């Protein structure tokens, strides 16, 4: 950035030379320095930029808080979101964590005041697992805070301190943010309170940066302003000192990739949490991918250029109770075209829970209209459990060509494994490095169809495989612990 400023000064100095009166022949002789008038003009611009930057800090810093969180040292348990967000080098000044040490663990994050009576926005992952939350203000005062509300899906949280007449951050419209504009981050990276860094907005609409059960809500702002552990929850500001985002993610520590939740979304969620509302979102209960994301199955959708492939339909989800099937390609939602998984999700998020939506679906060359009633997005979207169980005593059918072993699905097996499907063949083993393993086919998956032909026994499964062409791809419909999904077995040509 310093090089940008220097370059700007030189350009302005040069432009001032061009604007000056024409030079006489005697004045054209080479000179070793920039004329004083040009240098002063460039210096004035740099001074103005310097003043503008310092003004941003003076405006915003009083509303920024440092958040110190104390947590139990649950050594050996699953990592928290904070661990997943910031996977960087160990801070040499921080106390080493002994896996057998039961002493509380302390961490630090940032936040910013949004109401003069003590409401503060920060990240959910900053507070996750907190037993005690302390807030330090720019004027040196310390307060104990309580959690008002959290939303894990967007990583937004609100805390409250008992204080009045506090300085409040002002919001800008994040929709109006432009790539290339200046951006400023304030927070406490590596326990260095009120660190101020600057850069530009390097991108908008970044999605799927964090896996949340296949459900990503935020379209993040990307910046090259330096954001490190401890910046989480702090504001990302524009040149006017207004908040355009909440710093939240690091993808590649110290590599110029910082991310922020857009201010419009952060404020929308924050206001609902302050009002005491539960964050309710609609969902269909499908796992999706944009058409073309998986080149291995692209040839099976000939004649179709855009759409969203239904990979899995979750058990007991709204889509499960509709006529939607895995391998369907959704091209419209209520007549609004969708060409990517992100676009489809945005369209569904516009709906209300319990609202009927009409999906336009491509299925094996035919266009269908399928109604689905939205449900409420559950707190935990977990992948169906596939715990290995002892193989059934009957002899399995070995399909070495694909790396699959299957057997008839009997009523006894279905009851013992608590399967909702009653007909098909059940996968008893999948060979390592096989076609089946590459398609994530798993033990206890139940194969119900092969290329549109229902299979009820090992014999019908074998017959369907023999008639299929693995060079084009063999489409298998699977039931996985109640969820519906598919796999394509495709051999090299």
User: Rounded CA gap, 214 and 485, in Å?
Assistant: 14
Rounded distance between C-alpha atoms, residue 332 and residue 338, angstroms? 5
- d(CA 251, CA 152) in angstroms, rounded, equals 19
Cα 338 → chain centroid: 19
| CA–CA gap between residue 413 and residue 409 (Å, rounded) | 6
Q: Are strands 308-313 and 142-151 parallel, antiparallel or unpaired?
A: unpaired
Alpha-carbon distance of 121 to 111, in angstroms, equals 6
Which residue is catalytic, options 216, 232, 263, 322?
A: 232
Under 8 Å between Cβ of 269 and 279? yes
Active site residue 125: yes
The catalytically annotated residue of 63, 107, 155, 224 is 155
Phi, psi of 57 (to 5 degrees): -60, -45
Going by the DSSP 8-state scheme, the letter that residue 453 receives in this structure is E
Cα 214-377-207 angle, rounded to 5 deg: 35
**Interatomic CA distance for residues 391 and 429, integer angstroms:** 9
Q: Is 452 exposed, middle or buried (0-12, 13-18, 19+ CB in 10 A)?
A: exposed
Residue position matching structure tokens 């799927």: 208
Active site residues: 125, 155, 232
């Amino acid at each position: 950035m310093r090089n940008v400023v220097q370059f700007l000064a030189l350009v302005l100095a040069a432009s001032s030379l061009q604007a000056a009166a024409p030079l006489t022949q005697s004045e054209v002789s080479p000179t070793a320095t920039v004329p004083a008038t040009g240098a002063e003009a460039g210096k004035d611009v740099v001074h103005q930029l310097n003043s503008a930057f310092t003004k941003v800090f003076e405006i915003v810093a009083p509303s920024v808080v440092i958040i110190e969180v104390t947590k139990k040292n649950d050594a050996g348990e699953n990592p928290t979101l904070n661990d997943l967000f910031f996977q960087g080098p160990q801070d040499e000044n921080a106390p080493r964590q002994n896996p057998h040490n039961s002493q509380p663990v302390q961490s630090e994050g940032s936040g910013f005041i949004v109401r003069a009576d003590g409401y503060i926005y920060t990240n959910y992952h900053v507070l996750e697992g907190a037993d005690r939350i302390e807030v330090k203000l720019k004027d040196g005062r310390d307060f104990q805070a309580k959690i008002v509300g959290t939303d894990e899906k967007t990583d937004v949280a609100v805390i409250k301190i008992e204080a009045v007449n506090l300085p409040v951050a002002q919001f800008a419209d994040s929709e109006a943010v432009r790539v290339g504009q200046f951006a400023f981050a304030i927070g406490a990276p590596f326990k260095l309170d009120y660190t101020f860094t600057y850069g530009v907005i390097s991108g908008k609409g970044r999605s799927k940066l964090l896996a949340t059960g296949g459900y990503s809500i935020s379209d993040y702002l990307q910046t090259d302003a330096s954001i490190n552990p401890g910046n989480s929850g702090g504001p990302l500001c524009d040149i006017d000192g207004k908040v355009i985002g909440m710093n939240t993610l690091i993808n590649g520590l110290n590599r110029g990739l910082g991310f922020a939740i857009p201010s419009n979304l952060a404020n929308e969620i924050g206001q609902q949490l302050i009002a005491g509302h539960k964050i309710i979102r609609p969902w269909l209960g499908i796992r999706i991918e944009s058409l073309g994301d998986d080149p291995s199955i692209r040839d099976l959708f000939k004649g179709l250029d855009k759409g969203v492939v239904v990979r899995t339909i979750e058990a007991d989800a709204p889509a499960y109770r509709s006529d939607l099937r895995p391998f369907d390609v959704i091209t419209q939602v209520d007549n609004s075209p969708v060409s990517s998984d992100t676009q489809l999700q945005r369209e569904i998020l516009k709906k209300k829970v319990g609202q009927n939506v009409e999906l336009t679906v491509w299925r094996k060359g035919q266009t269908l209209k399928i109604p689905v009633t939205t449900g409420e997005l559950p707190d935990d979207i977990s992948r169906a459990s596939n715990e290995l169980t002892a193989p059934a005593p009957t002899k399995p059918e070995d399909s070495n060509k694909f790396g699959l072993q299957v057997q008839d699905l009997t009523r006894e097996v279905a009851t013992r494994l608590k399967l909702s499907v009653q007909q098909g063949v059940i996968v008893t083993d999948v060979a390592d490095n096989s076609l089946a393993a590459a398609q994530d086919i798993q033990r206890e998956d139940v194969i119900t169809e092969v290329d549109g032909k229902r299979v009820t026994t090992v014999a019908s499964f074998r017959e369907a495989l023999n008639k299929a062409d693995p060079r084009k791809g063999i489409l298998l419909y699977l039931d996985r612990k109640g969820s519906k999904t598919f796999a394509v077995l495709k051999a090299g040509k």
